[in-house]
Chain A
């Protein structure tokens, strides 16, 4: 699979990573090489094979639906780039 600039631009948009216009060509080349490499898998017959979602035979455990942690707003906000009055702050979202 060879990716064009427009596809790379839209993947970068989905991933929320800014990519300068002049870097798109090079990136498209790199990503295309990687996709060509992984596309060897098309040669494998996987008819009837169940996708493996977990390597362990375990089923996910359930626990009681109790509150086990909380009340640490100060700790949670301590690492925020910007916080105010007990909240994270972000650029204005609603016009």
Chain B
């Protein structure tokens, strides 16, 4: 019998439908993997008993002929989504003891589709970070190891680091992530999986702990493009509870994977090839361009001239919104309270003890840029530059259908590296932040391995609400990349398409 944790969602759905496996069997294989790989620290809260209960109910629904689109599929949920009756932490001490009395729209949609939840996945505190090292519950370890130093613990990327690690380590078949400046795409790249941040408004933000409301967007992470398409189809949809959720029908994203991209124009932005871009990343990008040409698409050089201002724009807009959103954590209504003699003292002590260093820093920066006398110089200025960045993309999409870039400037680095200065860590998101500021869909897929044996991802960016073209191109690239490598902790002989002889090639 094949190892059930190695199946894709697509294959598991087929076997479940044919009655070859049950949801309980599939879920038990994953709860066992979750226990066996606890060392990765991918989960903050494991709910194996609940998962098996849900799986049994799923089997019963299937027996009655009421199977949903993700019936019986075990998933992990980033611990930023509120889940009714299951502790939700946002990886912060300040939500100590918080158990939501309601369910986020996205996770409710997944439940309705029949999915089983294995538990709540680790992340950077309040989704602020690019290495999953700011979690109050400790860092997540990337299941991948470098060839040169196999003992070294690497970061899974962030903020959706637990999601990426769990999917790569075959603990979960897929996971939810959220992406504010690259938090789905960069960890997907670091862990060798697929992840898509859909267009802003495609998924409801209701019940997701807020970080920067004009940027936050939920999306799926899985091991194949088709699996991501299936997951997004279940997660997305209009929700009256989120006024920014788009009142648009949800297309059949998986049906967009036609394999035919002939005649498509693919933008290659010259600003994404700065001096000092690593040779490996440049090479894999060139390889991606070749795959698209081979499939009949036409690469077109484009210019996105305001790209270099995206990072400073983001680090005004996101902290400003964060300082406003996180004002709600006051020790009164939920979470941690540290007593003080006065109400103000209680607020200050609670927030000092409850927030970690990176979150405190961003709140302070946000407070400063929004304060009287500085608002125009910083926040209003950033909002104007944000429009120029979005206009760059609008102009580009007049002549191209999709844009191809690297996802991140490097492969995964060591836990503890890049921490000398906050700005160094932020540079990880240099290729993903512009897309976020423009609200566009962006997908990362694994394209190959670095010389050191670590995954490198490529990013596809689409027009607003045109995830279908992104998926269609991603499907073609996935086939060309034939990325079959898996982390060493995943037994290669048991994996689908993952026999040792087919392991991914270095670039």
Q: Which residues of A line the B interface, CB within 8 A?
A: 3, 7-8, 11-12, 14-19, 27, 30-31, 33-35, 37-42, 44, 46, 49-56, 58, 60-61, 63, 72, 75-76, 78-82, 88, 90-91, 93
**Nearest CB in chain A to that of B314: its residue:** A38
Residue contact A82 to B337, C-beta cutoff 8 Å: yes
Most buried by B among A31, A35, A81, A91: A81
Residue contact B351 to A79, C-beta cutoff 8 Å: no
A1 to B111, CA, bound (A): 49
> Per-residue CB proximity of B379-396 to A under 8 Å, as 1/0?
011111111101000000
Residue contact A11 to B364, C-beta cutoff 8 Å: yes
Q: How far is the CB of A10 from chain B (nearest CB, A)?
A: 9
Is B332 interfacial (CB 8 A cutoff)? yes
> Per-residue CB proximity of B251-272 to A under 8 Å, as 1/0?
0000000000000000000000
Residue contact A14 to B342, C-beta cutoff 8 Å: no
- Chain A residues positioned under 8 Å from B109 (CB to CB): none
Residue contact A8 to B243, C-beta cutoff 8 Å: no
Given A16-B347, A17-B348, answer yes or no on A80-B334 (Cβ-Cβ < 8 Å): yes
Residue contact A31 to B368, C-beta cutoff 8 Å: yes
Is B339 interfacial (CB 8 A cutoff)? yes
Residue contact A38 to B387, C-beta cutoff 8 Å: no
Residue contact A34 to B351, C-beta cutoff 8 Å: no
25 of the cross-chain contacts (CB-CB < 8 Å) are: A16-B330, A17-B348, A31-B368, A38-B316, A42-B381, A44-B384, A44-B385, A46-B385, A49-B384, A49-B388, A50-B384, A51-B384, A51-B386, A52-B386, A52-B387, A58-B201, A61-B247, A72-B101, A75-B101, A78-B101, A79-B97, A81-B332, A81-B337, A90-B346, A93-B342
A36 to B383, CA, bound (A): 18
Residue contact A88 to B351, C-beta cutoff 8 Å: no
A81 to B337, CA, bound (A): 6
Is B422 interfacial (CB 8 A cutoff)? yes
A15 to B351, CA, bound (A): 9
- Chain B residues positioned under 8 Å from A56 (CB to CB): 200-201, 244, 246, 439, 464
Tally of contacts, chain A with chain B, CB under 8 A? 162
Residue contact B351 to A16, C-beta cutoff 8 Å: yes
Q: How far is the CB of A12 from chain B (nearest CB, A)?
A: 6
Within 8 A of A (CB), among B305-338: 306, 308-309, 311-313, 315-316, 323, 327, 330-337
- Chain A residues positioned under 8 Å from B421 (CB to CB): 33
Residue contact B439 to A91, C-beta cutoff 8 Å: no
Residue contact A18 to B351, C-beta cutoff 8 Å: yes
Residue contact A38 to B346, C-beta cutoff 8 Å: no
Is B273 interfacial (CB 8 A cutoff)? no
Given A78-B101, A91-B339, answer yes or no on A50-B387 (Cβ-Cβ < 8 Å): yes
- Chain A residues positioned under 8 Å from B344 (CB to CB): 16
Given A11-B367, A44-B309, answer yes or no on A80-B333 (Cβ-Cβ < 8 Å): yes
Q: How far is the CB of A42 from chain B (nearest CB, A)?
A: 7
**Nearest CB in chain A to that of B306: its residue:** A44
Contact of A81 among B335, B351, B352, B361 (CB under 8 A): B335
Given A8-B364, A33-B421, A41-B313, answer yes or no on A54-B214 (Cβ-Cβ < 8 Å): yes
**Nearest CB in chain B to that of A62: its residue:** B243
A63 to B245, CA, bound (A): 14
**Nearest CB in chain A to that of B387: its residue:** A52
Contact of B343 among A51, A80, A93 (CB under 8 A): A93
Q: How far is the CB of B182 from chain A (nearest CB, A)?
A: 16
- Chain B residues positioned under 8 Å from A58 (CB to CB): 201, 244, 246
Additional A-B contact list (10), CB under 8 Å, known A11-B367, A61-B247, A88-B333: A8-B364, A17-B351, A17-B360, A33-B421, A38-B378, A38-B382, A41-B382, A56-B200, A56-B246, A91-B345
Given A41-B381, A91-B343, answer yes or no on A63-B214 (Cβ-Cβ < 8 Å): no
- Chain B residues positioned under 8 Å from A27 (CB to CB): 361, 364
Is B98 interfacial (CB 8 A cutoff)? yes
Q: How far is the CB of B241 from chain A (nearest CB, A)?
A: 9
Q: How far is the CB of A71 from chain B (nearest CB, A)?
A: 13
Q: How far is the CB of A83 from chain B (nearest CB, A)?
A: 9
Q: How far is the CB of B462 from chain A (nearest CB, A)?
A: 14
- Chain A residues positioned under 8 Å from B439 (CB to CB): 55-56
A16 to B342, CA, bound (A): 12
Is B277 interfacial (CB 8 A cutoff)? no
Residue contact A53 to B214, C-beta cutoff 8 Å: yes
Residue contact A34 to B361, C-beta cutoff 8 Å: yes
Residue contact B364 to A79, C-beta cutoff 8 Å: no
Is B110 interfacial (CB 8 A cutoff)? no
Residue contact A17 to B346, C-beta cutoff 8 Å: no
Q: How far is the CB of A64 from chain B (nearest CB, A)?
A: 11
**Nearest CB in chain B to that of A40: its residue:** B312
Is B460 interfacial (CB 8 A cutoff)? no
Residue contact A81 to B331, C-beta cutoff 8 Å: yes
- Chain B residues positioned under 8 Å from A63 (CB to CB): 240
- Chain A residues positioned under 8 Å from B500 (CB to CB): none
Closest 8 pairs (CB-CB, A-B)? A55-B439, A51-B383, A81-B337, A79-B334, A46-B384, A18-B348, A52-B387, A18-B352
Residue contact A31 to B365, C-beta cutoff 8 Å: yes
Is B371 interfacial (CB 8 A cutoff)? yes
A60 to B387, CA, bound (A): 19
**Nearest CB in chain A to that of B315: its residue:** A38
Within 8 A of A (CB), among B83-123: 97-99, 101
Q: How far is the CB of A28 from chain B (nearest CB, A)?
A: 10
Is B423 interfacial (CB 8 A cutoff)? yes
**Nearest CB in chain A to that of B360: its residue:** A17
- Chain B residues positioned under 8 Å from A52 (CB to CB): 383-384, 386-387, 390
